[in-house]
Structure 1
């Protein structure tokens, strides 16, 4: 695929704009679209070109990267893409329920779209740095160059739906690691330790996970400027719990972690970074001390 090819980006939130920046940095022409006029205006103010509608985006793009909130929005977009004559290849980075993405992919194929499932494990900051990992399923050969620009780190999975299954299982571990880190920091501080000295020690210990590097300092400094929105984190947690219930599984740790996310959103708002989960732990411990 030529660098002169225009690539569409549907969804201009944190992830969509990070992906658009990677494309532009590699020399691709980028055309953006979002249902929120404010996000379109921000993209335009930053020098980006904005499509008039989803149908316009499909008509003017060789391929479209989909980076919207959830599967319902992906289905809505696909319906709008179908109204035009063009059939660009679709790369869906949105985390969806496995059955949902299988249905979407089948619908796309039936109407002439090549469809790649590519949910991304990583924050928008990690996407910008090329450190995020895409989990890829579908016919990718014609778009390997484009995928390499979007995410240099990629893992090929078997069938459509398996990328989402893998992403949800990874997110289960990641989210629980994040909550454990937050609880560990608060516990260490209550023991009288310096938070940063504790974090440095933990990073050199058997407990190490990369979340310490990406979220540790944000938790310590209460820097909740978003790299990923905590509302999106909760959405994925609820997807995990739904899939577990469908299979008769009780995920006690993940249920407790989702509860913390809800409490953190009530305290800090849905647009804050997922590191804000530490505020729910701080508040609960403070409440227990008061009692």
Structure 2
């Protein structure tokens, strides 16, 4: 079976497909268009595609139609069932890809499903890469996403010119390893935001000036990129999303709840992640699932009687 990567990726000869034009996906697709690539896109709600169409993207009627005309198809959708539907099911990407075509799933997804997609792709003489991202909408707009890639190393290297437009790719290993890295990343992020929320609520109750508090601690061991991205927004209770809180419930659940390979005894106990998942689940229960992930401070506020914030 051949490989796609003897032919280099260039705007002139590489046709790109894109499925998923939400908060992150639209910005990422826009960057590829701005770099000169031709994009064929699919959206369940066609009206959401108007902005990308104005940049030159062509709207297709199905994932199958996208794949039929493209060398590489990116997907970034909501949940594992959505990934399965657009890639594996009838009229999905793998039914339309030509031999040596590549599907790249950038959704935060189950490692086991990433491996299933990889096996299905190879059975059809195609390739699959799992490449979830970190960096929120700001990183998507500015091309500064962290990209965690799993799959064939040569295919990931071949895709690097496209990844470079969106951010920095790190090759993590075989199929599924990109997804495992992203779940670990989101455990760190989810737990970290709960800690930052508690520190801010404590500092406020202690009578400290919160911006001065951030300035004091950001240069020490407690400082972090999370603090730089979200600290002032949390002080101001600006909960506009860069990534939806409801998705972090899903992502943390992949680490806390899912037992993928019992025969390998890979189950781990993650008490901090479990607590963070409860906090984000409380956000959803409070009707705040569409707020940003830093909105978890609202749960700490409620626990301390600060409901008016």
Normalized against structure 2, the TM-score is what?
0.85
1:118 deviation in Å? 0.9
Query: Number of residues paired by the alignment?
Result: 287
Is the 1:99–1:161 Cα contact (8 Å) retained in structure 2? yes
1:148 deviation in Å? 1.7
**Which is helix-richer, 1 or 2?**
1
1:276 deviation in Å? 0.8
Which residue does 1:157 correspond to in 2? Answer: 172
Deviations 1:23-72 (A, max 9, x none): 12211122221223443345446764322211111122221111111222
Correspondence for 1:274 among 293, 296, 309 = 293
1:219 deviation in Å? 1.0
Which residue does 1:140 correspond to in 2? Answer: 156
Structure 1 unpaired stretches of 5+: none
- Secondary structure at the aligned position of 1:140 is classed as helix
Q: Residues of 2 paired with 1:85 and 1:66: CA distance? A: 13
The answer to whether the aligner puts 1:13 opposite 2:25 as a matched pair is: no
- 1:24-35 superposed matches below 5 A: 24-35=33-44
- Secondary structure at the aligned position of 1:61 is classed as coil
Deviates more, 1:121-130 or 1:188-197: 121-130
Which residue does 2:72 correspond to in 1? Answer: 63
1:85 deviation in Å? 6.0
The answer to whether the aligner puts 1:257 opposite 2:273 as a matched pair is: no
Deviates more, 1:12-21 or 1:37-46: 37-46
- Secondary structure at the aligned position of 1:105 is classed as helix
Q: Residues of 1 paired with 2:36 and 2:175: CA distance? A: 29
Deviates more, 1:141-150 or 1:15-24: 141-150
Is the 1:43–1:50 Cα contact (8 Å) retained in structure 2? no
Give me the CA root mean square deviation. Answer: 2.2
Q: Residues of 2 paired with 1:226 and 1:31: CA distance? A: 27
Is the 2:72–2:102 Cα contact (8 Å) retained in structure 1? yes
Deviations 1:127-162 (A, max 9, x none): 2222221111222233221222222x1211121111
- Secondary structure at the aligned position of 2:257 is classed as helix
Q: Residues of 2 paired with 1:169 and 1:244: CA distance? A: 15
Q: Residues of 1 paired with 2:259 and 2:213: CA distance? A: 34
- Secondary structure at the aligned position of 1:32 is classed as strand
Q: Residues of 2 paired with 1:267 and 1:199: CA distance? A: 27
Which residue does 1:81 correspond to in 2? Answer: 93
1:85–1:180 distance in 2 versus 1, CA, 3 Å:
closer
The answer to whether the aligner puts 1:195 opposite 2:210 as a matched pair is: yes
The answer to whether the aligner puts 1:241 opposite 2:260 as a matched pair is: no
1:147–1:157 distance in 2 versus 1, CA, 3 Å:
same
Correspondence for 2:236 among 221, 240, 244 = 221
Q: Residues of 1 paired with 2:252 and 2:43: CA distance? A: 25
Q: Residues of 1 paired with 2:55 and 2:19: CA distance? A: 16
